[in-house]
Structure 1
Amino acid sequence: MSLFGYPRINFTGEATINVGTANNDDYSAGAQDNPQHPGEKLPPGQPFNSNPFRLSDSVNVQAVTYGMTDQQFMNWAQTPQPCQNDDGSAATQVPGEWNYFGDMAVSFDTVTVQSVTMAFGQTTTSNPLVGASLSFTSDEGGYTTALICDSNPEDVPASQIFADVMALRKNGTTYFSAQPTKAVTRYINFGRNPQLMPPAVPQPTSAMASATFQHGIPVANFSDPAYAAILSALGLNANSAVLKNAAGFVVRYSMYRCIPKQHSAINYPTTQAFADAIAAMYKSSNPLNPGVAIVSGSIGIWQKGELASLTMGRLMPATNAIPGTKLMIAPITMNLDTSAKIISLDISNSFPQNYNKNNNSTPNWVFGPVYVGFPRGGNNYQDIGEIPLDTNSYINSGGMIDISYKDFTMFYSLIEAGALAVYTRINGALTVLATETQYMIGSDQAIVYAEQNATSTNYRSSGQQLEPCKLRVYSHGSPFTGLLQVKQVEYSSTPNFNQQTGNYKTLNISDGYQVVFNIATPGSKLMLFMVNSTDPVPAYWEINLTAAFYINMRVLPQDDFSAVINSGNISWDFLYNNVLRNYNLLYPAMSKHLPFVQQAWEGAAAYVNSRVSAEYWGSSQYMPRTRDLSATRRALIQAWCKQFLVPPKV
């Protein structure tokens, strides 16, 4: 069971996430996209006419310019502007938000191995792997190959990390180096660091949140000498039983406490003060304001047949808030080794922390003793073991906790049938925090793309080839062999100030069920799977993103450029205004790589023609990094490029 087995390599450290923020449209979304809080409005009168405060029309993949020229828009995006809150009060915001020049790069800066868990109760800090660096670089000290982008830039649940390389190295030894599979956000938890709520706008922010990401590291042959060093450190060889059905390594981490490096809203009492600080930064010699996050996680053996982007198992969603708070823990995934009688719990993203602004530390919040156990009738629970919440235990275990239930012989059948719970006792009062539920649903196609009106029911997810969007359905930790009745609900999630609940139907699904979306209209969609099929359908903003089962879809708009393409005479102005202007205005970092001017693009025609092709989709070298270029716009770019390609010599 991958991370639930042994050995495990546990790591932590800081990462830099240099997201670009102009496409987020955070201001127009309101409070958690709640229609009762419809978000901020631009000033009345021309040119804004009290429209929602937004820069990006992600449905049609175009910048919202309000009639401004390029230079006017870029100046406006970096300058504090008046606006109106949903309660009618005045506010000030910088349209491009807090990192207008971000290039979407993700780097693991100081992420190192802290310990290695060789077997139950055997975690060591003296293994040769301790101190090894985990990174996305092609060589030690090189530039990161990873990037983060959203399929739905206007909302929370659809971030994905692509990389060309993920490597583990120490003192000149490379333990592994390969292209990882795509990782996506899981278990988004806005209760991870509640102290990071901005004082001026008390709404959930990325600084408060955490999420789980997971990559697979494919290994074709463990007999390859390239893996000799890591296998030796783990006490394995190519013939070890744990590698008999292995697909490679799996890297799972929680990313949390992401605070912008220069200026964060958490440090300013008013939106005006924050806006002024951001505007001054954009005029300075260093206009970058990337987020700096902590990552903590584990590396395990990835088994064939298991998902690459999610560890499936027994699922424990939250049932009650932590006493004295409104905080619910994020779901716990666990596994029971019924032979060795060991419960393994993944709490890497589950429990809140207690951020200390004075020293910028992020210790875990030990709010009381927490146990895993089972009910004995009434309000009585039998403790099997205590879950350590302290920071050192969390770091040294990568958030993976192993507890033996060998001594509970009389209760084996009860424990293994699915009766476990996680709970706390504070001042003698018991509060059940999470209980095991029967079903878990996941997919490696959690974020997919389609072309508007395409006839295929396969979608783009990780690379060049289209693939079916399939669900894995587990029951108490194993693939489910029956039919599960669910309510399948399809939402239109853009624009974020007008999200719509679409059609829903009750149906029976099995393990391997293929999800098919309605792709007649462009924009972002979310497909929700409700296991309790009799529950009422929630509004989009009511979906519990921490615990819900869902798939994100981005439908790219279909344009008809056939007449222009067939003419063989595509002007730069036509290409720029219909396709490229959006990227120049909303993602100015792209112009640092290749300026959006005709001469530069003509000289780079061969390069562009190659990099916009689907062949590069799974690579950080794909253009554009945002992955929102439709097939019709790709065809226009490539037709324009071919006008400047030198024919090969015969």
Structure 2
Amino acid sequence: MSVLAVPRLYFNGVMSNNPATGNNNDQWPVYDFPHAELNWDYLNEQQSGITPENVRDTFPVWARQLRDYVDERGRKWQQCAGEWNYYGDMGWALHHRDLETRVTGTQLAHGTGPVTDDELVKQKAVIDVVGDPFPGNTFHTPARAIDNNPDAFWCTNFYLKKIQIGTVTAPECFVTGEVQPGTYMTSRWLNLQRNLNTDGMRQLAGVGAAMLQACLPKEELRITQGSSVALQALKDKVDNDSTVRGLMVRCVVYLTHYFNLDGFEDCNKIPDLGNRFTAQYSRLVRLWNDELEAGRVPSQNPTVSKVVGTVGLWHQGEDVTSGPCGRVLYPKKKFFGWAPPPSKHEDPVSGWLGSAMVECHKAADGKRYAVIDLGSTIPETDGDALKAQLSKKRQNDAEHGALELVLSTGGDKLPAIPYGQYAKAAYERTSGIVELLIPDAVTDKMFNDADLSLKAAAMPVGDSGDVLTERATVVETDQRSTYLDGDNVTITLHARTKGAKPTEPTTVRVAQYMPDPYPPGESTGGWHLVTLGRALSDYPPAVTFEGGDATSMEVTLTDGTGSFQINRIDDEQPGCPILVFFPGETKVEDLPEEIGPVPSTEGGLSTASASFCCVRVLPRDKPVPTEFRTAVNACTTDSAREHVAWKFLYDRVLYVYDVVYPVMRYVAGLDLGDKTSVDKNIAQIVELADPELRSTDNSTLYMPSSRELSEGKYQVMKLYQWLVENGWKKLPGQSL
């Protein structure tokens, strides 16, 4: 089922992403993100001159200063510790300036291909996302993109309230729907070899791509079809088909560009990466300093990525809303191929394909189609987004570079997928969806029982050519990003065997991995299994499973669903563990010790192909409210209590959000270092920092946007609110 069923809409355009990068640690570990504090030990080692007493004035200046950096390959450049978007607001959208994401085609039946004469295409319909409305009005916050672990690349979460389709002037006029309550989009199948970068012009995450998915339940869905045949078909299914739960939206984000501000065009064309970074950062820092000196708001510098996607039907039984949980093919071997003409790169290319999804669908005339989602599968070779041609020699021929979907049960071959069906033009037309007519000799049972694989012709002599192979059982969760701010949390898993709910109980081993290097470090690249010996000292666990084991536990899923509980080890031992799911009778000794960005062995796991969830174990900071109460109540006058309370609140709670995420001061009109501003807004600050908005609602309203405020520090904010509202009188009792 999923978006691979019909009818479906195709869209194409851009995503803008506006993160605050002061916490990234890509070059220098200035941020102790497990504790949500500055890394004071590191700052002292660097003789930065930054202290808790002067941090508000000194850290932003230091974060904007250029300094030398040498990467692991010996390349040198200058950049600032605040990185490329120090003043970002964590927002994301499917537009950037005058660039929109538009509906580009529709498909009503299998085997027919997309058409471009639907009213949605004629009206240049746009698709976009919005966040939750502010309390008491209809103005929406931006959707928010937040890293569960700000030092890592494998779990970025895209929080949103609604997805809408309309026109530029009436953005909701065709479709508006709220996402399934409590859910969010998250970066699935994050492939860091998605762009082979043969021209050397991709920077940072410009080589990567991720798949995002969300579902819109029919209860909160409005479709105004007008004269659109495609919308009428979707509306009929949603209104009248009991197997349909609503709409599903799936997209792929790729080819990310940095430094998109006006005036950076010449910097962005510099061929040498080190010289390019130095020029870009020099101009950016100069721009920020000029703006601040002139009293203007410092510029935000969001990324702009390409996006293709599909809107289709969400069906009963599709329990995971944020990603595929069906017949998924994962990387087995490296592919070999070429950058096609007109690319100037004439040498062979190689790498790992991304994952793919396959479903069998029957058309109205009884013909059956294998519908394959290659949206995340085939890499681009360069900045022109030309797809790699998986052929034995370089040819300007759409028929060469064929792929085959192979069934282990045999029967007649399915039609091949020639290069023309996965090349750039086709990919952008159908968002990577390919349909293959299934021969009559291949029965439904043969297809359903088969182990599926994707075979490439351009492999060494004697090689089977299987670049992707199916895992019989796929286990996923919608809790891809979990925040543990209490004693424990329960994670729910869903399993599918060859696309269907298992008929027998399913055993899953859940294993705890920690980032490698252990945080806070410089830009972690992989995961290390928590085991006895070296790993317990170098990679101490952040949680234990039921029964107290820190390495792994077995979970039994009945009727495709089951859950397990993880427990905090210590109130003051935060961390960012990754819990990886291994379906089947996996023994502890068979668990991989390390999992990296690409497979280390044939058919091995990577951070792109593993099924997992990330847990942010927040510090409890239990003693902090008591310390606050004691310090305030030790004062003998209201004015003394006011002074002590403010200094404690800023020095122990607000300072990090003031200097690491400075956007509030300049864009939101809330200066967290200014007592008058905080006192005036303290009721709303406390309301928006309610942990329920983060852990249960996954709301875009939650403050801080980085979603890392501890329970203890939240209680300090509530105590401060009481003091403001009660004239700085002595705090009563042990609770308010």
- Please state which band the TM-score falls in when normalised by the shorter chain: 0.7 to 0.9
1:531 Cα deviation after fit: 3.7
User: 1:524-603, aligned counterparts within 5 Å?
Assistant: 524-531=576-583, 533=586, 535-541=590-596, 544-559=606-621, 560-567=623-630, 569=641, 571-592=645-666, 593=668, 594-596=670-672, 597-603=674-680
Tell me if the contact between 1:376 and 1:382 (Cα under 8 Å) persists in the aligned partners. Answer: no
Evaluate the alpha carbon distance shift between residue 129 and residue 25 of structure 1 in structure 2; reply closer, same or farther with a 3 A threshold: same
Q: For residue 509 of structure 1, what is the aligned residue in structure 2?
A: 556
Please state if 1:382 is matched with 2:413: yes
- 1:600-627: per-residue Cα shift (whole Å, max 9, x none)? 1011112212111135433222211111
SS at match of 1:207: helix
Q: For residue 712 of structure 2, what is the aligned residue in structure 1?
A: 632
Q: For residue 335 of structure 1, what is the aligned residue in structure 2?
A: 359
Tell me if the contact between 1:63 and 1:585 (Cα under 8 Å) persists in the aligned partners. Answer: no
For residue 519 of structure 1, what is the amino acid of its counterpart?
R
Tell me if the contact between 2:628 and 2:645 (Cα under 8 Å) persists in the aligned partners. Answer: no
User: 1:436-447, aligned counterparts within 5 Å?
Assistant: 436-447=470-481
1:315 Cα deviation after fit: 1.2
Report the Cα distance in structure 2 between the residues aligned to 1:259 and 1:437, rounded to whole angstroms. Answer: 34
Over alpha carbons, which structure has the higher Rg?
2
Evaluate the alpha carbon distance shift between residue 63 and residue 279 of structure 1 in structure 2; reply closer, same or farther with a 3 A threshold: farther
Q: For residue 157 of structure 2, what is the aligned residue in structure 1?
A: 160
- Structure 1 residues without counterparts, runs of 5 or longer: 28-52, 459-468
Alignment size in residue pairs: 598
1:515 Cα deviation after fit: 3.3
Evaluate the alpha carbon distance shift between residue 346 and residue 602 of structure 1 in structure 2; reply closer, same or farther with a 3 A threshold: same
Q: For residue 688 of structure 2, what is the aligned residue in structure 1?
A: 611
Q: 1:133 is matched with which residue: 126, 130, 135?
A: 126
The range that moved more, 246-255 or 149-158, is: 246-255
Q: For residue 108 of structure 2, what is the aligned residue in structure 1?
A: 118
Tell me if the contact between 2:408 and 2:450 (Cα under 8 Å) persists in the aligned partners. Answer: no
Q: For residue 547 of structure 2, what is the aligned residue in structure 1?
A: none
Report the Cα distance in structure 2 between the residues aligned to 1:72 and 1:563, rounded to whole angstroms. Answer: 30
For residue 413 of structure 2, what is the amino acid of its counterpart?
Q
Evaluate the alpha carbon distance shift between residue 644 and residue 313 of structure 1 in structure 2; reply closer, same or farther with a 3 A threshold: same
Tell me if the contact between 1:9 and 1:113 (Cα under 8 Å) persists in the aligned partners. Answer: yes
Q: 1:150 is matched with which residue: 147, 152, 168?
A: 147
Evaluate the alpha carbon distance shift between residue 128 and residue 611 of structure 1 in structure 2; reply closer, same or farther with a 3 A threshold: same
Report the Cα distance in structure 2 between the residues aligned to 1:236 and 1:289, rounded to whole angstroms. Answer: 38
Report the Cα distance in structure 1 between the residues aligned to 2:198 and 2:714, rounded to whole angstroms. Answer: 41
Give the helix-richer structure, 1 or 2: 2
For residue 607 of structure 1, what is the amino acid of its counterpart?
Q
1:516 Cα deviation after fit: 2.5
Q: For residue 247 of structure 1, what is the aligned residue in structure 2?
A: 245
Aligned residues: percent identity?
19
Please state if 1:269 is matched with 2:321: no
1:309 Cα deviation after fit: 0.6
SS at match of 1:136: strand
Report the Cα distance in structure 2 between the residues aligned to 1:235 and 1:367, rounded to whole angstroms. Answer: 37
Tell me if the contact between 1:196 and 1:266 (Cα under 8 Å) persists in the aligned partners. Answer: no
SS at match of 2:425: helix
**When the two structures are superposed, what TM-score results if normalisation uses the length of structure 2?**
0.74
Please provide the CA RMSD for this pair: 3.2
Q: For residue 57 of structure 1, what is the aligned residue in structure 2?
A: 32
- 1:147-191: per-residue Cα shift (whole Å, max 9, x none)? 100110000111001123321103646122233341011001111
SS at match of 1:192: coil
For residue 330 of structure 1, what is the amino acid of its counterpart?
G
Q: For residue 568 of structure 2, what is the aligned residue in structure 1?
A: 519
- 1:351-405: per-residue Cα shift (whole Å, max 9, x none)? 111323xxxx323333333333326899x99343426112222122122222220
Q: For residue 321 of structure 2, what is the aligned residue in structure 1?
A: 308
Tell me if the contact between 1:188 and 1:209 (Cα under 8 Å) persists in the aligned partners. Answer: yes
SS at match of 2:566: coil
Report the Cα distance in structure 2 between the residues aligned to 1:230 and 1:58, rounded to whole angstroms. Answer: 49
Report the Cα distance in structure 2 between the residues aligned to 1:16 and 1:225, rounded to whole angstroms. Answer: 26
Report the Cα distance in structure 2 between the residues aligned to 1:427 and 1:184, rounded to whole angstroms. Answer: 33
The range that moved more, 380-389 or 125-134, is: 380-389
For residue 184 of structure 1, what is the amino acid of its counterpart?
T
Evaluate the alpha carbon distance shift between residue 335 and residue 328 of structure 1 in structure 2; reply closer, same or farther with a 3 A threshold: same
Tell me if the contact between 1:316 and 1:434 (Cα under 8 Å) persists in the aligned partners. Answer: yes
Report the Cα distance in structure 2 between the residues aligned to 1:267 and 1:553, rounded to whole angstroms. Answer: 40
For residue 294 of structure 1, what is the amino acid of its counterpart?
K
Evaluate the alpha carbon distance shift between residue 646 and residue 3 of structure 1 in structure 2; reply closer, same or farther with a 3 A threshold: farther
For residue 676 of structure 2, what is the amino acid of its counterpart?
Q
Report the Cα distance in structure 1 between the residues aligned to 2:229 and 2:691, rounded to whole angstroms. Answer: 36
Tell me if the contact between 1:606 and 1:645 (Cα under 8 Å) persists in the aligned partners. Answer: no
Evaluate the alpha carbon distance shift between residue 481 and residue 633 of structure 1 in structure 2; reply closer, same or farther with a 3 A threshold: farther
For residue 117 of structure 1, what is the amino acid of its counterpart?
Q
- 1:494-538: per-residue Cα shift (whole Å, max 9, x none)? 505487532433635322221323422312110112347254423
Please state if 1:103 is matched with 2:89: yes
Evaluate the alpha carbon distance shift between residue 228 and residue 321 of structure 1 in structure 2; reply closer, same or farther with a 3 A threshold: same
1:455 Cα deviation after fit: 3.3
- 1:101-159: per-residue Cα shift (whole Å, max 9, x none)? 111111211100011111102321111122210012489xx987211001100001110
- 1:6-52: per-residue Cα shift (whole Å, max 9, x none)? 1111101012111121211112xxxxxxxxxxxxxxxxxxxxxxxxx
User: 1:167-206, aligned counterparts within 5 Å?
Assistant: 167-170=164-167, 172=170, 174-180=173-179, 181-195=183-197, 205-206=204-205
